[in-house]
Structure 1
Amino acid sequence: MKNLLEIKGIDKHFDISGSILDQLKFAGGKVTRKKTVVKAVNDVSLDVHPGETLAVVGESGCGKSTLARTVLGLYRPNRGEIIYRGERIDRLSPSQMLPYRTRMQMVFQDPYASLNPRMTVRQILEEPVRFHNPSLSRGEVKEKVAEVMLQVGVDPVWATNFPHEFSGGQRQRISIARALVLDPEFIAADEPIAALDVSIQAQILNLLMDAQEQRGLTYLFISHDLSVVEHISNRVAVMYLGCLCELAPAGELFSNPRHPYTRALLSAIPRLGGQAGGHTRLSGDVPTPINLPTGCVFHGRCPHADERCSREIPAVMNLGGDVQVACHGVEEGRI
């Protein structure tokens, strides 16, 4: 299967040192200059297949959203390659990226912050269509916007309303409409239901799945909710502290997790009628992306870690069946 998207060895780091004065530190009787860098994504490689939903999971701060924004060109990677349909796009200028903007879209987590409060829904949805399709007439643009609004469940008669006049669920529908209005083939959905009431989440998920079926969309789906991920995804990538721990088909990962961190995550899913005591409690301090631990980033909290784990970064191994794991314990057969 030819990949729609290939992510090869991506690093994304942020310099938060501030001004030169902020970087000056007094230590050992002398003044030194020290930079502070957040290592948000570290050597991540993924392939995304056409028409699939690849979910990316992990705790807050593991680099999921940063990875998605880097893939779409909102951030430029420090290292690595991003290849879309055989073309490398990670070093393109803003003008060179324009043809890919219509093919790659994003749905943001917070519908309150992602919509311009000074624009009506019609203006929000018409703006990208007019920009990327200047040859369309005003009637054609209006017709296209109305069609997409109907598809996401928003009545076109509300097109003159402002975002604050809608509920959270309706706003997220409008955000999805903004992504769909350019007829993309790839959408990065960054926690699209996290800010919504539970009663609305199922509606938005069904909307996303229906749009995927009707339009042949490919999703990079970011979520904390593993129950949702199990339901919606074809494959799942597990990240911890900016690193890829495990990648596997959804059924395989949920039935037979290999990485210790994946096992801990899955053990925390609430299940009705489940037996108590099955939750894996992780010990040790939670490191930060500013001071990454040596070796495996998870070794300080892993119950199976040994001396090798503390000094050597594990390589991602292919275990067959589209399963990839980065763990010394799995490689050595200890886990």
Structure 2
Amino acid sequence: MSANHAIATDEAAPLLEIKGLRKRFSLSAGLLDQLRFRGGRLVRNHKYVHAINGVDLEVRRGEALCVVGESGCGKSTVARTVMGLISPSEGEIRYRGERIDGLAPRALLPYRRRMQMIFQNPYASLNPRMTISQTLQEPIRFHHPDWERRRVEEKVVEVMEAVGIAPDWGKRFGHEFSGGQRQRIAIARALAVDPEFIVADEPISALDVSIQAQVLNLMMDAQRERDLTYLFITHDLAVVEHFGTRVVVMYLGTVCEVAPTAALFATPRHPYTRALLSAIPRLSDHGIERVRLSGEVPTPVELPPGCVFHGRCPIANERCRREIPQLARHGDTLIACHAVEEGRD
């Protein structure tokens, strides 16, 4: 497959499509760990962590699609699977209409430049042995081996200035900077190869609150100036309300609801979304219905039958306990809930 063929050009189609995505992580180190005696017979017991369970998503050009949910719901696993850092167990990932999961490293090269990632921890994402200039030059030299040294250096200065970094920082190392400064450097590294799609995996959660807004505004400015598309992973609903175009709510590896940001915060439909939004601290409780969930989040090793949320849902019935709900369209919103389908919500 040639590079020209690999990148489709249909502007009407979603930039990224995820269909039936599943990811399982084995808990058994080897065959001997899986063997057990039961009833006098030797049987094989292979356990998995079911991190993603049939996720379907579309990311539209120019939007900031925010994925939210509590810790362990599979948000970061979706991000890393999309970027090819881990391989899916099942399902398809398509970029500009072309399937990219399972491609060989060489075949992925045309996509690597267009798809970049910003990681959560700015203290671990920078190589401590490289200067900032070397860190920013590395992806440029990799994707543009024909560029002369002067052109590479000019590009580094350009992206440093774009994110508010002084060019004389280039001679220093990552440990000499604060968390917010390091995350600016990480954003500059992502922008250095002029991508069109960026996966941001909780990029501000490790930063001081006073610095979070600065980094968030920087990302929003970059989106406007460079026509970027974001897949933004976060657990901070205040960030979502400020930053997101649409919101995906996940629970235990499944998608509960997908809605435009304003619609989701104004009229959440899924019972879990309602509980999640009711937990946001507010100055006034007027007009807010508090939803208090009972029980614990099930283990992803032994998934419950039916809807994964039924054990904590206040309006679950027998159908919820035995049948897995599918995402269905209700106006501009996609919801996976039997109660919504039956009008019991």
Alignment check: 8 A CA contact 2:200 2:231 kept: yes
Q: Give the letter for the 1:12 counterpart.
A: K
Partner of 1:49: 60
Q: Give the letter for the 2:153 counterpart.
A: K
Give the drift of 1:26. 3.9
1:249 equivalenced with 2:242 (yes/no) = no
Partner of 1:175: 186
Point out the more displaced range, 8-17 or 213-222: 8-17
Picking from 299, 315, 322, the partner of 1:304 is 315
Alignment check: 8 A CA contact 2:13 2:97 kept: no
Give the drift of 1:145. 0.6
1:76 equivalenced with 2:80 (yes/no) = no
Q: Deviations over 1:274-312 (max 9, x none)?
A: 349843111122201111100000000100111111110
1:329 equivalenced with 2:339 (yes/no) = yes
Partner of 2:222: 211
1:120 equivalenced with 2:131 (yes/no) = yes
Picking from 92, 108, 119, the partner of 1:108 is 119
Point out the more displaced range, 207-216 or 20-29: 20-29
Query: Which runs of 5 or more structure 2 residues have no equivalent in the other structure?
Result: 1-11
RMSD of aligned Cα (Å): 1.3
Q: Output the TM-score relative to the length of structure 2.
A: 0.94
Q: Give the letter for the 1:75 counterpart.
A: I
Partner of 2:292: 281
Query: Which runs of 5 or more structure 1 residues have no equivalent in the other structure?
Result: none
Q: Give the letter for the 2:92 counterpart.
A: E
Picking from 222, 233, 237, the partner of 1:222 is 233
**Could you say what secondary structure the match of 2:296 adopts?**
coil
**Could you say what secondary structure the match of 1:113 adopts?**
coil
Q: Matches of 1:127 and 1:325 in 2, distance apart?
A: 43
1:7 equivalenced with 2:18 (yes/no) = yes
Q: Matches of 1:228 and 1:279 in 2, distance apart?
A: 21
Q: Give the letter for the 2:234 counterpart.
A: S
Q: Deviations over 1:146-190 (max 9, x none)?
A: 110111111110111111100000000011111100100000000
Give the drift of 1:30. 4.1
Partner of 1:66: 77
Q: Percent identity?
A: 65
Picking from 114, 120, 143, the partner of 2:154 is 143
Point out the more displaced range, 272-281 or 154-163: 272-281
Picking from 292, 316, 319, the partner of 2:303 is 292
Q: Matches of 1:257 and 1:6 in 2, distance apart?
A: 24
Partner of 2:326: 315
Partner of 1:133: 144
Return closer, same or farther for 1:327/1:276 CA change in 2, 3 Å cut-off.
closer
Q: Give the letter for the 1:237 counterpart.
A: V
Give the drift of 1:32. 2.6
Q: Matches of 1:315 and 1:273 in 2, distance apart?
A: 35
Alignment check: 8 A CA contact 2:94 2:100 kept: yes
Q: Matches of 1:28 and 1:263 in 2, distance apart?
A: 47
Q: Matches of 1:14 and 1:291 in 2, distance apart?
A: 13
Q: Give the letter for the 1:61 counterpart.
A: G
Q: Give the letter for the 2:303 counterpart.
A: L
Give the drift of 1:318. 0.7
Q: Output the TM-score relative to the length of structure 1.
A: 0.97
Partner of 2:243: 232
Point out the more displaced range, 109-118 or 24-33: 24-33
Partner of 2:282: 271
Q: Matches of 1:147 and 1:92 in 2, distance apart?
A: 32
1:162 equivalenced with 2:173 (yes/no) = yes
Alignment check: 8 A CA contact 2:122 2:183 kept: yes
**Could you say what secondary structure the match of 2:124 adopts?**
helix
Partner of 1:184: 195
**Could you say what secondary structure the match of 2:299 adopts?**
coil
